């Protein structure tokens, strides 16, 4: 090596350092820590939001089922119409009203059911409705299977910007018929005499017959002309007594009534007709108190009655019992002065008065509210005068306790012969129907209101609705914190704030035990009613804050979720007492509001999660993807934006495309097979793939979501790593030759100090210094000077304990002074140190250069020590001219007092030593440093991990040439551990976020009770399978099955057993399906199974297995074992089928299932 003056060295180094700028980008530690903190906070928040979402979803499902029951079993028809008049949804009452199954109504035009006479009125009504002017009402006639038209009153309102409308339908046919009957009643009474089924004869005062009706002519068998020529006591009448003996004229009822001026009723006699037959009649005769008239005689044929009297008596008994015991219709009888004469059991239950309390009292005092008594009395007088009842009407009447009840009241006036007319009232309780209708309307209004308003506005709107439904004047809401000890008055109703209360309260916190009597619902965990607030002890009331509305009576209900009270809703100052109907209404309304609150919170959480995941994927440093996989196809569902760098296609264009559409055929086939292997086996797959000259490492893993398994994974470009490995493998072939030709001696010594291996140079040194060649098995002590043995043993023991050592020794060989550096390095297996690699290097030249280097080091270190990077300056031979303090301090701070390379040492020799120790990075570094020193490489950089005894690190190594070629190099080692950790945490966070989003998205697709696809996702899956079937001319079968008599299971064994049966049936069906098959809940107890690549006969075999397995199911319950059967319908779609929609296929499947039910249930039909 040529020597240069110290001044020249200093000048060279100084100039180089001045020209060199530290361009390595570093992230400040504080910024990195802040980012890590933000990620951890986001992860925690995401976890909390996921928990709330899962809870909200379960509660939302329960609320939806409750809403569906209320909707379906409402007493009036409800339907939702599209803008074009198609029926989008209809409840059971609506389907019954229209006389068609609900499933067949869906998609039909409502106008189809309107009669021709009402078409014009319906069009005018629908046009006004779509104009958005508000609620519209009309009355139309509908076509039904019966001969008579059905009169229906429709009340509808538009929503969703006029795209849909909701309608309430109520049959008015009964009212129309009543009106028609009223119009014709006069005509009937005019023709009563001629058409009366009983015979009627009228005589004058002398007994001459003046008039007789056709019924009398037919009954007596005497022509009308002859009839009116006779007298009532004529001997021409052949009359016999009940015992068959002739009856003389003086015993005739008509004769007795005329002579004795009395009424003779129901005298039975026989009339002998000319043909000798006897017709038995019942005769009633009464004086006719009109001038010129004698008696009026009526008689009817009782021949058959004699044989039916016993049956009639029994029938009358049944009628009276039914009238008395019927529980749904309250029947009362009143005199025309309003006095109560009859009061059945249903009336006692409806109005609270027993029959003993009611009979004899005035109708007006019992049940007519004060404000209605004048009108009711006027109506009674009108009926007494006209003898006609007033039309039926909906009335709000009064109970014994002062509360109101809404009834549909119809009336009838009856007259018992010889008695005064009576007014009979038939009242049907509409309170529950009204309450349900009010709740449904409130639900709709609150749900629509929630979409565009804040949480506070929503709560205030709900309190306003609660006041309206319960007839209250005060409404308030409290939140209860999780400790169940702190209450927060959140908001008042609009009326309370504007007219009744000025007390502060919003967001005010106070202990529950200091609150008023309304807070007792927290301790009782149930609704609380105080109908006499003033009568409560003052200690319980605890007073009211200044400005608080005065309390007359109140109702407070708690809302419980997960066994904790989360909210309290209360109303107050109803004009009369609160009851259980108010409790039920307020509880349902409050539960709805809380569910909407949680839904809004859950929707916001999902939206934020989706945005966060999309943002991460869009900026992900690695290639991230999610696929849907079948045995023959792997299709992209989601992909990160950087795939454009790999295959030149934007991620948005990759969505929905298969591997065959994105990659070369051979690679696509392998990818599809690998993807299916991951999904089928449920195992993680790690593999390396080549594409377009690049090398990629991919990790794929299954994502099981409900009944479906997706594939997710990520890909990393490892091109540089593969190239480095290839270079390393190439260099390993030269390693042995390098080892043998090394300028260092190498000996491998076992724990017993025996030499097991040595290189050629070790033999030469041993012969030169000790006059003996080294042989395998020799003791190492044969080549150690006595004065060096103690030091050798110490360093050897250090190496056996796992710590490498280096020492320098001087030897005098003849007249020559030689310096050697001896290294002791442990040789490790996986579990222990088995020996020591003992090497030596001639450092005589280095020692000679130390003087020169010491002078230059003082100059260089001042500059280098000011830098944080670990820096070493090499000369053209690789000898270290200088290192900075950061270089030395790092090694010593991490347990290595002898860092690799001090000033004066050859860095390349250190690399060679590391290569011999098996360090793969040392080969790459050695080659790169030599290339930079030789001028064939402009610069070199790499990243590598480093394990110290105390910590793991990552470093970025950079090798730069000095200012002139072949003049040496500068090596920089920059600690990038924090940056690497941040990158790894970001990758882990990406995977967690992606997995969380997929899980949450899947929860939105499944039916919570059964775990299969819900209706919406079922339709999506069906659309996709239909598209594939039609595109590739494949075969597709659809199974629809329904649990027979499922309502009996719920009614007999309870809804819990019903839910258990639904889940068990679903699990049984799913167990028979393939992974490519799709099962979903279509509604209620109806399910649909979609079978790709399956014909009808194959589907039939599957359906029969499912049906047989379900029929064998038994659920033990306290009321006995529960069993069910299935009715199953199957349809097939093949390549020759005409294009159908999913609705068409489902409709055909439903028809097939209905055919199975018509054929006796528990069977399978193919259509």
Look at residue 675 in the predicted model and tell me its pLDDT: 93
- CATH number for the domain formed by residue range(s) 191-309: 3.30.450.20
Q: What is the pLDDT of residue 401?
A: 83
Q: Which residue has the tokens 């009340």?
A: 155
Give the pLDDT mean for 669-693: 90
Q: Percent helix, strand, coil in the chain (nearest 5)? A: 45, 25, 25
- Residue 189 has a pLDDT of 53
CA distances from 724 to 695, 718, 720, 824, 973 (A): 12, 10, 6, 29, 19
pLDDT-derived band at 1094 (thresholds 50, 70, 90) equals very high
Burial class (CB in 10 A: 0-12, 13-18, 19+), 967: middle
Q: What is the DSSP string of 959-988?
A: EEE-SSTTS-EEEEEEE-HHHHHHHHHHHH
Strand partners, 872: 883, 971
Longest dimension (CA), the chain: 185
User: Using CA atoms, how far apart are residues 998 and 703, in angstroms rounded to an integer?
Assistant: 8
Which CATH code, of 2.60.40.180, 3.30.70.270, 1.10.3720.10, 3.30.70.360, is assigned to 1006-1166? Answer: 3.30.70.270
Best-predicted range by mean pLDDT among 53-67, 346-360, 704-718?
346-360
pLDDT at 340: 92
pLDDT range class, residue 1149, cuts 50, 70, 90: very high
Q: What gap in Å lies between CA 854 and CA 943, rounded to an integer? A: 31
At 94, list the tokens: 């609506």
* CATH topology classification for 742-842: Beta-Lactamase (3.30.450)
**100-114, 791-805, 983-997: least confidently modelled range:** 983-997
pLDDT band (50, 70, 90) for residue 949: confident
Give residue 12's pLDDT band: very low, low, confident or very high (50, 70, 90): low
Mean local confidence (pLDDT), 252-266? 90
Q: Is the pLDDT of residue 443 over 60?
A: yes
Which of 243-247, 283-287, 436-440, 893-897 holds the top average pLDDT?
283-287
Q: Is the pLDDT of residue 2 over 50?
A: no
CA dihedral 1101, 1107, 1113, 1117 (to 10 degrees): 170
Pick from 13-22, 493-502, 874-883 the range whose average pLDDT is largest: 874-883
For the ranges 37-51, 435-449, 574-588, 723-737, the maximum mean pLDDT occurs at 574-588
pLDDT at 865 over 80: no
Amino acid 873: pLDDT: 84
pLDDT of residue 278: 84
Q: Is the dihedral of CA 407, 413, 416, 418 positive or negative?
A: positive
The average pLDDT across 282-310 equals 82
Structure tokens at 903: 């000033």
DSSP string of 43-98, one letter each residue: HHHHHHHHHHHHHHHHHHHHHHHHHHHHHHT-SSEEEEEETTSBEEEE-HHHHHHH
What's the whole-number mean pLDDT along residues 224-230?
83
Quick check: 997 and 613 in contact, CB under 8 A? yes
Say yes or no to pLDDT of 1148 above 90. Answer: yes
Least confident of 246-250, 430-434, 1101-1105: 430-434
141's CB contacts (< 8 A; 6+ apart) are: 114, 115, 117, 118, 149, 150, 151, 152
pLDDT of 1051 reads 92
Res. 161: pLDDT tops 60 = yes
Residue 1064 reports pLDDT greater than 70: yes
Distance set, CA 363 to CA 366, 576, 1148 (Å): 5, 21, 58
Gap between the Cα atoms of 353 and 347, Å rounded: 8
Kindly state the tokens that stand for 337: 């002065």
Spatial CB neighbours of 451, under 8 Å, sequence gap ≥ 6: none
At 1 the pLDDT is 41
Predicted confidence at residue 692, as pLDDT, reads 82
Which of 151-160, 296-305, 498-507 has the least mean pLDDT? 498-507
Query: Tokens at residue 147, please?
Result: 């001969």
> What percent of the chain has pLDDT above 70?
86
pLDDT band for 506, please (50, 70, 90 cuts): very low
Which range, of 279-283, 568-572, 583-587, 616-620, averages the lowest pLDDT?
616-620
The yes-or-no verdict on residue 24 having pLDDT over 50 is: no
What's the average model confidence in pLDDT over 391-405? 85
What is the C-alpha separation between 1001 and 981, in angstroms, rounded? Answer: 30
- Please give the residue that has the higher pLDDT: either 24 or 620: 620
Give the domain 619-717 fold: Beta-Lactamase (3.30.450)
Q: Count of residues for the chain? A: 1167
pLDDT on residue 538: 76
334 compared with 614, residue with greater pLDDT:
334
pLDDT tier at 1116 (50, 70, 90 boundaries)?
very high
The set of residues, in sequence order, having a beta carbon less than 8 Å from that of 733 and lying 6+ positions away, is none
| H or E segment to which residue 1081 belongs | strand 1078-1083
For 552, left (φ over 0), alpha (ψ -120 to 50), or beta? Answer: alpha
For residue 1078, the model assigns a pLDDT of: 95
Helix, strand, or coil (residue 248): coil
The alpha carbon of residue 269 and the mean position of all alpha carbons in its chain are separated, in whole angstroms, by 80
| Under 8 Å between Cβ of 487 and 519 | yes
The stretch 485-508 carries a mean pLDDT of 70
CA atoms within 13 A on the CB side of 789: 9
The three-state (H, E, C) secondary structure of 2-43, written as one string: CCCCHHHHHHHHHHHHHHCCCCCCCCCHHHHHHHHHHHHHHH
Question: What pLDDT is recorded for position 731?
Answer: 64
**Looking at the predicted structure, is the pLDDT value of residue 871 above 60?**
yes
Residue with tokens 């007033």: 390
| pTM of the model as a whole | 0.32
User: Average of pLDDT values for 548-572?
Assistant: 86
Angle at 707 between CA 701 and CA 710, to 5 degrees: 25
Radius of gyration of the chain (CA): 51
Mean pLDDT is lowest, of 129-143, 884-898, 977-991, for 884-898
pLDDT of 1046 > 90? The answer is yes
Contact 552, 572 (CB under 8 A): yes
Calculate mean pLDDT across residues 534-546: 74
| pLDDT at residue 1089, as a whole number | 97
Rounded Cα gap, residues 765 and 839, in angstroms: 11
pLDDT band at 862 (very low <50, low <70, confident <90, very high): low
Spans of all domains in the chain: 75-177, 191-309, 326-429, 434-607, 619-717, 742-842, 1006-1166
CATH superfamily placement of domain 75-177: PAS domain (3.30.450.20)
- Of 372-381, 991-1000, 1087-1096, which range is least confident? 991-1000
Helices (H) and strands (E) in the chain, counts: 38, 44
SS3 assignment, position 636 = strand
Tokens of 90: 């209809």
The encoded tokens of residue 48 equal: 């909390």
Residue 890: helix, strand or coil by DSSP? Answer: helix
Q: Report how far apart, in Å, the C-alpha atoms of 4 and of each of 11, 736, 967 are.
A: 11, 35, 11
Residue with tokens 């439904």: 469
**Cβ atoms of 304 and 293 closer than 8 Å:** no
Report residue 3's pLDDT band, with 50, 70 and 90 as the boundaries.
very low
Could you tell me which residues are beta bridge partners of residue 696?
Answer: 689, 717
User: What CATH number belongs to 434-607?
Assistant: 3.30.450.40
What CA–CA distance (Å, rounded) separates 958 from 867? 15
DSSP 149: P
Q: Residue 229: pLDDT band by 50, 70, 90 thresholds?
A: confident
**Going by C-beta distance under 8 Å and a sequence separation of 6 or more, which residues neighbour residue 1069?**
1041, 1079, 1087, 1089, 1106, 1110
Task: Determine the average pLDDT of the residues in 602-614.
Answer: 68
Mean pLDDT, residues 119-123: 90
Average pLDDT over the chain, rounded to an integer = 82
pLDDT tens-digit series, residues 836-845: 888 888 888 7
pLDDT at 1006 over 50: yes
Q: What are phi and psi of 338, to 5 degrees?
A: 90, 0
State phi, psi for 1008 to the nearest 5 degrees: -65, -35
Query: How would you classify the pairing of strands 329-335 and 209-212?
Result: unpaired
Q: Between 916 and 458, where is the model more confident? A: 916
Split at pLDDT 50, 70, 90, the class of 1081 is very high
| Dihedral in degrees, nearest 10, Cα atoms 737, 741, 743, 749 | 70
Cα distance between residue 250 and residue 416, in whole Å: 29
Look up tokens 């004048």; give the residue: 374
Residue 324 has pLDDT above 50, yes or no: yes
- In degrees and rounded to multiples of 5, residue 648 shows phi and psi of 75, 25
> Where are the alpha helices (H) located in 682-816, listed in sequence order?
719-740, 760-770, 789-800
Domains 191-309 and 326-429 share a fold: yes
Query: What mean pLDDT do residues 559-563 have?
Result: 85
Bridge partner residues of 744 (DSSP): 841
374 or 440, which is more confident?
374
Nearest one of 193, 160, 210, 375 to 298, comparing CA atoms:
193
Superfamily of domain 326-429: PAS domain (3.30.450.20)
- Quick one: which H or E segment has residue 927? helix 920-934
Residue 735 has pLDDT above 90, yes or no: no
Cα separations in angstroms, 638 against 650, 696, 742, 998: 11, 19, 55, 11
CA torsion 1015-1019-1024-1029 (nearest 10°) is: 110
């Amino acid at each position: 090596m040529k020597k240069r003056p110290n001044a020249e060295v200093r000048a060279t180094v100084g100039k180089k350092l001045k020209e060199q700028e530290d361009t390595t980008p570093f992230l400040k530690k504080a910024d990195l820590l802040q980012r890590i903190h933000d990620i951890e906070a986001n992860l925690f928040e995401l976890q909390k939001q996921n928990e709330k979402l899962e809870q909200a979803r379960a509660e939302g499902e329960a609320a939806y089922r409750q809403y569906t029951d209320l909707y379906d079993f409402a007493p009036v028809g409800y339907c939702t119409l599209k803008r074009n008049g198609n029926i989008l949804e209809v409840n059971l009452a609506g389907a019954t009203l229209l006389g068609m199954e609900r499933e067949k109504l869906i998609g039909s035009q409502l106008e189809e059911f309107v009669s021709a006479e009402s078409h014009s009125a319906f069009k005018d009504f629908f046009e006004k409705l779509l104009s958005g002017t508000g609620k519209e009402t009309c009355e139309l006639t509908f076509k039904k299977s019966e001969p008579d038209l059905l009169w229906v009153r429709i009340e509808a309102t538009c929503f969703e910007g006029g795209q849909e409308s909701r309608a309430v339908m109520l049959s008015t046919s009964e009212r129309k018929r009543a009106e028609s009957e009223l119009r014709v009643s006069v005509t009937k009474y005019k023709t009563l005499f001629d058409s009366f089924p009983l015979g009627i004869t009228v005589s004058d005062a002398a007994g001459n017959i003046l008039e007789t009706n056709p019924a009398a002519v037919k009954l007596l068998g005497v022509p009308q002309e002859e009839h009116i020529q006779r007298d009532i006591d004529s001997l021409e009448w052949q009359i016999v007594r009940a015992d068959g003996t002739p009856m003389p004229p003086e015993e005739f009822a008509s004769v007795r009534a005329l002579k004795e001026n009395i009424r003779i009723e129901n005298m039975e006699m026989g009339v002998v007709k000319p043909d000798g037959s006897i017709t038995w009649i019942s005769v009633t005769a009464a004086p006719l108190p009109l001038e010129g008239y004698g008696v009026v005689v009526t008689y009817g044929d009782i021949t058959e009655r004699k044989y039916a009297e016993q049956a009639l008596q029994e029938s009358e008994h049944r009628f009276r019992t039914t009238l008395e015991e019927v529980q749904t219709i309250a029947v009362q009888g009143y005199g025309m002065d309003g006095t109560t004469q009859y009061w059945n059991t249903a009336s006692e239950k409806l109005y609270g008065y027993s029959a003993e309390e009611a009979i004899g009292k005035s109708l007006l005092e019992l049940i007519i509210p004060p404000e209605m008594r004048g009108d009711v009395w006027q109506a009674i007088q009108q009926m007494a005068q006209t003898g006609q009842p007033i039309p039926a009407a909906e009335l709000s009447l009064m109970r014994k306790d002062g509360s109101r009840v809404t009834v549909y009241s119809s009336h009838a006036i009856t007259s018992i012969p010889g008695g005064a007319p009576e007014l009979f009232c038939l009242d049907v309780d509409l309170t529950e129907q009204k309450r349900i209708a009010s709740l449904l309307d409130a639900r709709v209004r609150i749900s629509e209101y929630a979409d565009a308003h804040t949480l506070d506005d929503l709560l205030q709107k709900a309190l306003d609705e609660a006041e309206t439904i319960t007839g209250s004047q005060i409404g308030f809401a409290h939140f209860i914190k999780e400790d169940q000890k702190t209450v927060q008055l959140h908001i008042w109703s609009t009326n309370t704030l504007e007219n009744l209360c000025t007390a502060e309260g919003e967001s005010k916190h106070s202990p529950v035990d200091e609150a008023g009597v309304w807070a007792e619902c927290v301790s009782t965990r149930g609704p609380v009613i105080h109908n006499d607030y003033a009568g409560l002890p003052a200690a319980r009331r605890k007073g009211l804050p200044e400005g608080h509305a005065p309390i007359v009576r109140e109702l407070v209900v708690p809302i419980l979720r997960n066994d904790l009270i989360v909210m309290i809703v209360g109303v107050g100052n109803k004009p009369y007492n609160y009851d259980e109907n108010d409790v039920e209404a307020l509880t349902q309304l409050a539960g709805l509001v809380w569910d909407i609150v949680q839904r809004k919170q859950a929707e916001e959480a999902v939206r934020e999660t989706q945005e966060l995941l999309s943002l991460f994927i869009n900026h992900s440093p690695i290639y991230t993807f999610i696929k849907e996989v079948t045995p023959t196809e792997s299709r992209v569902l989601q992909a990160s934006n950087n795939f454009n760098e790999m295959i030149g296609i934007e991620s948005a264009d990759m969505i929905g495309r298969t591997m065959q559409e994105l990659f070369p055929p051979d690679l696509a086939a392998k990818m599809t097979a690998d993807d299916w292997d991951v999904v089928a086996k449920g195992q993680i797959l790690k593999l390396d793939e080549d594409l377009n000259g690049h090398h990629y490492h991919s990790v794929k893993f299954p994502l099981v979501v409900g009944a479906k398994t997706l594939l997710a994974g990520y890909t990393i470009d490892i091109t540089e790593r593969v190239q480095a490995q290839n270079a390393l493998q190439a260099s390993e072939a030269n390693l042995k030759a390098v080892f043998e030709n090394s300028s260092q001696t190498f000996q491998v010594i076992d724990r017993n100090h025996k030499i097991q291996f040595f290189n050629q140079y070790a033999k030469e040194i041993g012969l030169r210094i000790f006059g003996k060649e080294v042989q395998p098995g020799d003791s190492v002590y044969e080549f150690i000077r006595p004065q060096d043995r103690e030091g050798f043993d110490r360093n050897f023991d250090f190496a056996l304990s796992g710590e490498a050592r280096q020492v320098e020794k001087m030897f005098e060989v003849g007249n020559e002074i030689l310096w050697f550096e001896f290294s002791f390095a442990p040789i490790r297996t996986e579990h222990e140190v088995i020996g020591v690699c003992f090497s030596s290097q001639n450092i005589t030249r280095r020692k000679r250069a130390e003087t020169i280097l010491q002078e230059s080091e003082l100059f260089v270190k001042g500059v280098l020590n000011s830098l944080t990077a670990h820096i070493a300056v090499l000369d053209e031979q690789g000898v270290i001219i200088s290192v900075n303090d950061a270089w030395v301090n790092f090694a010593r701070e991490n347990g290595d007092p002898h860092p690799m390379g001090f000033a004066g040492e050859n860095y390349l020799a250190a690399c060679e030593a590391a290569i011999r120790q098996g360090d793969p990075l040392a080969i790459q570094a050695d080659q790169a440093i030599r290339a930079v020193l030789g001028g064939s490489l402009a610069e070199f950089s790499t990243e590598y991990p480093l394990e110290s005894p105390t910590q793991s690190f990552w470093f970025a190594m950079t090798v730069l040439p000095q200012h002139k070629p072949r003049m040496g190099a500068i090596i920089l080692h920059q600690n990038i551990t924090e940056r690497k950790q941040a990158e790894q945490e970001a990758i882990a966070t990406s995977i967690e976020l992606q997995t969380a989003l997929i899980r949450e998205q899947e929860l939105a697709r499944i039916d919570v009770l059964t775990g299969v696809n819900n209706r919406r996702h079922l339709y999506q899956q069906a659309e996709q399978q239909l598209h594939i079937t039609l595109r590739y001319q494949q075969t597709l079968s659809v199974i629809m099955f329904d649990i027979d008599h499922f309502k009996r299971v719920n009614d007999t064994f309870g809804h819990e057993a019903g839910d258990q049966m639904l889940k068990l049936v679903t699990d049984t069906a799913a167990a028979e399906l393939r992974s490519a098959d799709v099962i979903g809940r279509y509604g209620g107890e109806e399910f649909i199974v979609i079978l790709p690549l399956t014909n009808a006969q194959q589907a039939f075999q599957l359906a029969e297995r499912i049906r047989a397995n379900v029929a064998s199911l038994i659920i033990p319950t306290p009321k006995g074992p529960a069993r069910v059967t299935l009715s199953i319908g199957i349809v097939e779609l093949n390549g020759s089928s005409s294009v159908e929609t999913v609705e068409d296929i489902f409709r055909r499947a439903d028809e097939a299932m209905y055919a199975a039910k018509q054929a006796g249930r528990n069977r399978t039909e193919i259509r």
